[in-house]
Amino acid sequence: MRIHTPTPTENYLNATFASEDDAMRTARLCGDGLRAGMQLSPYEGALLAWLARCVQAQHILEIGSFVGYSTLWLARTLPENGTLITIEKDAQHAELTRTHLDQSEYGTKCEVRVGDALEQVAHLTSHSFDLIFIDAAKGDYHALLLATDPMLRIGGMVIGDNSLLFGHMAGAPSQRASKRAIESMRAFNTTLATSEKYDAMLLPTAEGLTVGIKRA
């Protein structure tokens, strides 16, 4: 959860680089009303979409949609024949994601799956993705990285949100995190940073966004 007051720079980025459509705005307001701080800021959504365009993503897997705000940013980048699968554990949040997608111009390209992330990923072994975005339970990040690696094409991109884990990775925590979450996030970042399979960097957004391009 983002316990964070936007800085003047972030407000500028939101206003200048993050043009929302009506469906995005509706989803963002819905999410803020349900649980403020649970979703990306507008500029982070725009950054996510920009990264998807950088790898010309046609097939995207999102793990953790909340009410669909990040899903909409990703879906907007898809070409005509593109697809997106999003996994959401909470059935009510998944229903809201589907509603917001249906209110958009690109909802027909998207499939919403409900259930535990690792269990749902196990059903996707025959799929190939150009981009995988992980924004689920922090204690599952490393396991999700390992589980989805075979599904990510060479040259594809994996992205993990909240990868500074509320300051825990830098030794300056702003809120509590479980030991499991801390260990998992550290392993997630370290694996991407040191593996010969990935070229990776942690982008210092408010909560951290780790980006890895698969090279082998």
Q: How far apart are CA 163 and CA 143, in angstroms?
A: 14
What confidence score (pLDDT) does residue 37 get? 84
Cβ–Cβ < 8 Å for 129, 153: yes
2, pLDDT greater than 60: no
Q: What pLDDT does 122 receive?
A: 97
pLDDT of residue 30: 97
**pLDDT surpasses 80 at 20:** yes
Does the pLDDT of residue 3 top 70, yes or no?
Answer: no
Question: pLDDT exceeding 90 applies to what percent of the chain?
Answer: 93
Domains of the chain plus CATH, in order, are 8-214 (3.40.50.150)
Instruction: Please provide the average confidence, as pLDDT, over all residues in the chain.
Output: 96
* Overall average pLDDT of the 34-46 stretch: 93
What is the per-residue pLDDT across 67-99, written as a single tens digit (0 to 9) for each?
999 999 999 999 999 999 999 999 999 999 999
Alpha-carbon distance 136 to 162, whole Å? 9
CA pair distance 194, 178, nearest whole angstrom: 24
User: Would the pLDDT of 154 be above 80?
Assistant: yes
pLDDT at 5: 80
Residue 4 has pLDDT above 70, yes or no: no
Distance CA 49, CA 71 (A): 10
pTM: 0.96
Q: CA distances (Å), 7 to each of 12, 96, 110, 178, 205, in order?
A: 9, 29, 33, 28, 11
